Structure 1
Amino acid sequence: MSDPTPADLRPRRRTNALAVVAFILALLVSPFAALFGHIAAGQIHRSGGAERGAPLAWTAVGLGYLWLAGWIFAGALVYQAFTAPFPS
């Protein structure tokens, strides 16, 4: 067996758990994905390269805002449907 190379001796970077949770929330159509994605991205940035998962976190942020806009639009439609005057 050969001697270990410097790449073998480096500790493995772990994936930020909150980034994974945010991405799962984004797949479940939850606007909370944006909040958790922002928090995860900040944690990854502050880790100084010890954590990975920034693409997951930022994808969750984008989808979370998309779902938030969709929920607001759906709420506006429901509100309009229940407050519109009935035709006589």
Structure 2
Amino acid sequence: MMQRLRRWSAAGGKIGASQNVDYGLTTSETEILEHLSNGLSYDQIASNLFISTGTVRKHVENTYRKLQVNNKVGAIKKVNP
């Protein structure tokens, strides 16, 4: 799953050329989503990225909104069909 997320990220956040779906995630949102998919907590992500836990929460909220999902599992599934 991580390889697909990395390929998705490297492709500019696009999922499959045939689907041509661009969710408009920022680099930070993509990086945080990758950390979430590795099982890191918000506190761990914040520590790794030298940002506050509140900033992580805001990026996650924005990611969920852009992907039109309500949770981490939904977000990861959305970018890895």
TM-score by length of 2: 0.31
Higher radius of gyration, 1 or 2: 1
Larger helix percent: 1
How does the TM-score come out when normalised to structure 1?
Answer: 0.29
